[in-house]
Amino acid sequence: MPLTLDDVSFSQAEQRLPLSKPFTLVVFGASGDLARRKLLPALCALDCDGQLPAGARILGFARSDMTDDSFRDEVRKSASLSCHGHKLGEQQWQDFSARLLYFRGQYDSVSDFRGLQQRIEDLARQSGQPANCLFYLATPPGAFAPIVRSLKASGLARGSGGKVEQAGPWSRIIVEKPFGRDLQSALDLNAEIRQCFAERQIFRIDHYLGKETVQNLMVLRFANSVFEPIWNHKYIDHVQVTVAETLGAEGRAGYYDKSGAVRDIVQNHMMHLLCMVAMEPPGSLDADAVRNEKVKVLRSLRRIEPHCAASSVVRGQYTAGLMDGRDVPGYRQLKGVGPDSMTETFVAFKAFVDNWRWSGVPFYFRTGKRLPERRTTISIHFRPVPQVLFNAPPTGPVAANVLAIRVQPNEGISMEFQVKVPGMAMRIQRLKMDFSHAEAFGAEPPEAYQRLLLDAALGDQTLFTRDDEVEEAWKFVSPILEGCAMQPGEKLAFYEAGTWGPKEAFDLIADDGNRWHVT
Ligand code: BG6
């Protein structure tokens, strides 16, 4: 049932954020996968949309031997492959490439960082602009601490960040995930970064928060009076969160094998999705007001103690299988993965948010690689109606209402409800009212990195993770990891690539009389 909206007239210009002050964005790890596939195409798309201020420059920093020109050639290849819905014209490319520069250096070399500082200052002097700096750590996590130390020792980490610009140039730092590999390493990294940047200058990025549908959750919940009164344990039976990927770990097995699904997806993306669903209405849209509410959710999350982890968390790993008619190798057959690797590529568990709103409501989570579809959804399952009126045959039990939020792909929201089938008999059928982002707005939502890069340039931290948020998320996840590692032989359930994960994941939810939602 298509939804008719009568007020969706908006222009690209209306969607724009104000332009930030001119800045130099230093991308550490500029020759790496993340920079090539995501960051530089997102910056190029922003430029095509006129959302980068005149005087904004992108300075790639990496160990590879490149010049400004060879860096531009590399960027052009990635940007023309993927420029987020923009067809890159020659003039647009010329304009964007004029912003691109390259600096070769070692992450732990203070003298290289002094050279970088000199270059940034020279550029600022030539253009008559303040030397505002945005440092993006897009390297493997092992390089984060050395970079931060070099920024400090070279004097590049200075000025004031945050929303209120003070006189003089500012500097800010964007830190990619994974932020630590357990609670202790996250605490250490926070301490290291805080030695040279104030919290208001630190932007811990999780691209899930930049996704349009994740932001839309706040609007759905707090700009519609119908939902808030029923958004609690009195009306909601349970909540499901699925992050399913068709991709395997090919090409990044080196990283993935040391990480696994719990660290890669649960600690960050899934915890953010949970917070957006479960948080109380913030007092304002101010960054700290929103993040205060998110932290409260994480603090209320019932811990899964290490000795319970193996029995209450399903960890799986894919074996060889068939996907889209193609044979795909099992995880252990990948280059860079040992034949006896115990790394999980799938995880499912049940959690509880122990507060007044959510008391007793199970939240079921599952995520996995090499599943049959790429799909991230959150489904809110309302309590079933009392079965007194319509439970006689041929009707059977009446299905409960489900509000399903499609985070990706085919972004949108649907509500499942019951109607009478026309005819003499009282037959009931489940129907769906559907909002599709593409249908309503005629365009794909912007890429998450575009939004997040702009916000960081503007100093808006709302969609970035605060120090206590990242620590609380680890407090929930670390005991699970500990418990699974403690278990002799580490219980691991295998599933064939192209299936919806191991049987144990279905049992987990079936034991409560529920089943995974199919959109
Ligand atoms: C990343 C994970 O953070 O998110 C990847 O490291 C995963 O393993 C990716 O594939 C999923 O992002 P998206 O936007 O494709 O859902």
Provide residues with CB under 6 Å of ligand 1. 177, 207, 245, 247, 264, 376
CA dist 171 and 169 (Å) reads 7
Band of pLDDT at residue 251, cut at 50, 70 and 90? confident
CA dist 491 and 347 (Å) reads 12
Q: Do 144 and 194 lie in a common domain? A: yes
Domain range for 213 = 209-510
Around Cβ 218, how many Cβ atoms within 10 Å?
16
* Any domain includes 344: yes
**DSSP class of 128:** T
The length of the chain in residues reads 519
Contacts of 122 (CB under 8 A, 6+ apart): none
Closest atom of ligand 1 relative to the 252 alpha carbon: 8
Q: Do 199 and 217 lie in a common domain? A: no
Q: pLDDT of 151-192, one tens digit each?
A: 999 989 875 444 444 567 889 999 999 999 999 999 999 999
* Any domain includes 2: no
Closest atom of ligand 1 relative to the 256 alpha carbon: 8
* Any domain includes 287: yes
Domain boundary among 204, 224, 244: 204
Domain boundary among 204, 219, 247: 204
Q: Do 302 and 382 lie in a common domain? A: yes
* Any domain includes 276: yes
| Number of structural domains found in the chain | 2
Band of pLDDT at residue 82, cut at 50, 70 and 90? low
Q: pLDDT of 396-411, one tens digit each?
A: 778 899 999 999 999 9
Could you say which of 84, 207, 238, 269 is catalytic? 269
Q: Do 231 and 306 lie in a common domain? A: yes
Q: Do 88 and 220 lie in a common domain? A: no
C-alpha of residue 154 to centroid of ligand 1, in Å: 34
483 residue type, one letter: G
Contact 277, 378 (CB under 8 A): yes
* Any domain includes 288: yes
* Domain CATH for 318: 3.30.360.10
Q: Do 200 and 230 lie in a common domain? A: no
Residue nearest to atom 4 of ligand 1 (CA): 265
Q: What is the mean pLDDT of residues 14-36?
A: 85
* Domain CATH for 170: 3.40.50.720
Contact 27, 58 (CB under 8 A): yes
Q: Do 282 and 155 lie in a common domain? A: no
C-alpha of residue 365 to centroid of ligand 1, in Å: 16
Q: What is the DSSP string of 12-48?
A: HHHHPPPPPPP-EEEEETTTSHHIIIIIHHHHHHHHH
Q: What is the pLDDT at residue 392?
A: 61
Which class for 174: exposed (0-12), middle (13-18), buried (19 or more C-beta within 10 A)? buried
Q: Do 164 and 270 lie in a common domain? A: no
Q: Do 223 and 162 lie in a common domain? A: no
CA dihedral 305→311→314→317, nearest 10 degrees, is 110
* Any domain includes 261: yes
Q: Do 303 and 424 lie in a common domain? A: yes
* 207 classed as catalytic: no
Q: Do 196 and 216 lie in a common domain? A: no
Q: What is the DSSP string of 226-259?
A: TTGGG-STTTEEEEEEEEE-S--STT-HHHHHHH
Whether the predicted pLDDT of 10 surpasses 50: no
Band of pLDDT at residue 358, cut at 50, 70 and 90? very high
* Any domain includes 327: yes
* Any domain includes 11: no
Domain boundary among 187, 204, 221: 204
Q: pLDDT of 279-324, one tens digit each?
A: 999 999 999 999 999 999 999 999 999 888 888 899 999 999 999 9
Q: Do 414 and 272 lie in a common domain? A: yes
pTM: 0.92
Which class for 50: exposed (0-12), middle (13-18), buried (19 or more C-beta within 10 A)? exposed
